[in-house]
Chain A
Amino acid sequence: MSHYTEVKSAFNSEHTDEMVSALKELWPEATVLVSEEGTAKCRGWPGQQPRNCHVVVRFRNPNIEKQGNYDIGFVKRADGSYSMISDWYACTYPEATNDQGRTGSNAVEGMIKPLYTKNLMKKTLKKNKRLRGFKDISKRNDIVTKKDKNGKNVRYARLRYQRS
């Protein structure tokens, strides 16, 4: 049976704006709900109660609260990080599927994280005098593969910043 699963993520509530921007950039057709009070509803399988979240991405029928639409929610935790919540088994829309055909929380976090990191870097470069002069020279969808210590291929999104 389908059910909600909540997993920890690398996203932090100190950088909510950067996370929301990343979600909007990744899924321009989706509706992103933001609730300071944490009352945005993350919809899932019919028969279950929707979950309350601080940020929710709605891929289908954003204006109805009916279950049977599969959203991805973000909940602030006591340590300031966000957990991600969804009915991951059922949230298999093409938008929530990565370039390797994978769905689920790992795939979705991996899709969001490069954009989130890029937004964080943009904020850091803007705020910090020591980093004055660095320009973002990242290419879009620049994926590199490296071997880990066990010889397994690991894929990374590459962000690059240059100062002449």
Chain B
Amino acid sequence: MGKTKSEIIEILVPVDDPDLPINIDALNFEGDACSLATAEFEKALGKVESKKLKPEFRKKKVKAQRNIKLGN
């Protein structure tokens, strides 16, 4: 069995247009663990404008990725 990859949260902050949303990506999480982790970041950053759940999110016990865009 392969080694589990590190969980990574990546935040992209637009630098030229403040009206664009901030993006949050959660990488290498299992199941809905990413929701729990990113929820705290979302709370701090502002309201969620849209959420894109990557296909892996719907599978049980698999590596999941999640992408969230936050408005101002």
Contacts and interface: CB of A to CB of B under 8 A. Distances in A.
Interface of A: 8-10, 12, 15, 98, 100, 102, 106-107, 109-111, 113-114, 117, 120-121, 123-124, 128, 130-131, 134, 143-144, 146, 148, 154-164
Measured as residues with beta carbon below 8 angstroms from the partner, the interface class of chain B is 20 to 34
Given A10-B72, A156-B23, A162-B6, A143 B40 contact: no
B16 A162 contact: no
Contacts of B10: 158-161
Contacts, number: 94
21 contacts: A98-B15, A102-B16, A107-B16, A109-B18, A120-B44, A121-B11, A121-B41, A124-B41, A134-B37, A154-B20, A155-B16, A156-B15, A158-B13, A159-B10, A160-B8, A160-B10, A161-B9, A161-B11, A162-B7, A163-B8, A164-B6
B interface, by DSSP: helix, strand, loop or mixed? mixed
B9 to A, nearest CB: 4
A73 to B, nearest CB: 17
Interface of B: 6-18, 20, 22-23, 36-37, 40-41, 43-46, 72
A138 to B, nearest CB: 9
